[in-house]
Amino acid sequence: MDNLKKIVESNIGLVADISKSYFKFGYDDIFQVGCIGLIKAVQDFDVHKG
């Protein structure tokens, strides 16, 4: 769980930058969806798949 937190915190800026480019659709909503997507992606990532 600690690794998940570190990875998410390291990449939250990327989510924020991408969300800003969709500002006209509602930054907060896009940012929240992006954060949820980031968390799911980190949880599902498997380094052993190659």
pLDDT digits (tens, 9 = 90+) for 33-48: 999 999 999 999 888 9
Which range of residues forms the domain containing residue 36?
A: 1-44
What is residue 26's predicted lDDT score, i.e. its pLDDT? Answer: 82
Which of 50 and 9 is assigned the larger pLDDT?
A: 9
Q: Is residue 50 part of a domain?
A: no
Q: 46: helix, coil or strand? A: coil
Q: How many domains does the chain have?
A: 1
C-alpha span between 47 and 50 (Å, rounded): 6
pTM for this prediction: 0.79
Which of 2 and 11 is assigned the larger pLDDT?
A: 11
Q: Is residue 49 part of a domain?
A: no
What is residue 27's predicted lDDT score, i.e. its pLDDT? Answer: 87
